[in-house]
Chains A and B, each alone.
Chain A
Amino acid sequence: MVEFTLWDILRNLLLAARWTVGLSLVAFIGGGLVGFALLIARLTPSRGARRLVSFYVQLFQGTPLLIQLFLAYFGLALFGIQTSAWTAAALALTAYTSAFLSEIWFGCVASVPRGQWEAARSLALTFGEQLRHVILPQALNIAIPPTVGFLVQVIKGTALASVIGFVELTKAGGMITNATFRPFTVYAAVALIYFALCYPISLTARALERTLHAAHR
């Protein structure tokens, strides 16, 4: 059998963590773009679009990410769409992220006082102009801290991609555990690497929030 030194364990976990970071970035950026489109659809006067977006958000917030991953992986293939573990994980996490981000952002837009919409309308701006020049700039300020905070949820969410066989940090931990029989060391190291990734982001989100509150006082 192969022998793993502590350095071998750490080195392999860090190498696998690159995939965790990559998957997180893809899901966060993809989810941000889709989430923004959903937000706009939800702000339009069309009742149908609003309902559809609410349904989408409800669906992804009301079912486990684990099941969404299984469905993206094995479900899509049944309909002839071939996906690797990487694409399936990226797709499922993007959809999941977009649902949460659009909900967060909708809350931020809703917190812009109604009077702002009315004022913008009274200036005879179109819907697009109202959003672009009046509402979104104000909502953006409020939206940044929770958005950065949600990145932590995305990073942690990628750990579930391990169950469809995508070799990221958690999966690598399982494989190394089986080769070394040192689960305590391996999972403690896995947890520490996640912590090292997430904690600075959490701190940043909190600092941003404090600045925002200070500015509003």
Chain B
Amino acid sequence: MIRTVVNLDFGTILVDWRMLAKGVAWTLGLTAVSATGGLALGVGCAWARIHGPAWLKAVTGAYVELFRNTPFIVQLFFIFFGLPAAGFRLSPEAASILAMVINLGAYATEIIRAGIEATPRGQVEAALSLALSRMQIFFHVVLPPALRKIWPALVSQIIIVMLGSSVCGQISTEELSFAANLIQSRNFRAFEAFIVAALIYLALSIGLRRLLNWLGPRFLFGD
């Protein structure tokens, strides 16, 4: 029997903490921008799917189905590698953000629409009798209770998108998993690098859930 020794050395990973910190910053930055953009897109498309003209309903419906039924990595590759052939070129970071916004937008549309449809009609009728415009009713009467109802589902979706951003490293966006990959390609400590990355992601997703649960009621649908 030969004895092989597997030494796990986390020190060699943590020495590169600057690279990891930069990766965390990019991951959080991508998530913040795409969460904001994705939510806005989701609200807009949810409105379009309920109140828009028939053609707009069809367009947003196709958008939602197309992006919910294809993998994020393929969407990202198509935007980054495929679209330049059609004359539309984006930097890796811009392509990452665009892919994340569009992806989150598709899911957010369906979540928000479900929330709106679950809102009792009586409230809208009451608002109409107060002579509010359709827009005012949507943003002040319909949207806040809908968002409150579906906020936990949206928070989960935002976290899924943050974890999904790990794929953006494949097109050279320097987020957290890119940092882990770069470190392991230099010191050949693959296992340690990914363990460290996994723990950081875990901390980020727990922290982000707390933050969003705190933010939502205060700023989006004031309780």
Contact = CB atoms under 8 A, between A and B. Distances in A.
A62 B82 contact: no
A198 B77 contact: no
Nearest to B27: A64
B220 interface: no
Contacts, number: 120
Given A162-B73, A187-B74, A202 B68 contact: yes
A78 B5 CA distance: 9
Interface residues of B, number: 39
A58 B206 CA distance: 9
A50 B206 CA distance: 19
Contacts of A182: 85
B128 interface: no
Contact of A183 (B4, B69, B85, B180): B85
A163 B74 CA distance: 12
A30 interface: no
Interface in B42-89: 65-66, 68-75, 77-78, 81-86
A199 interface: yes
Nearest to B73: A159
Interface of B: 4, 6, 8, 65-66, 68-75, 77-78, 81-86, 159, 163-164, 166-167, 170, 177, 180, 190-191, 194-195, 197-198, 201-202, 205-206
15 contacts: A62-B163, A64-B177, A65-B163, A67-B198, A68-B198, A70-B190, A70-B194, A75-B194, A78-B191, A152-B68, A156-B70, A157-B71, A162-B73, A190-B77, A191-B66
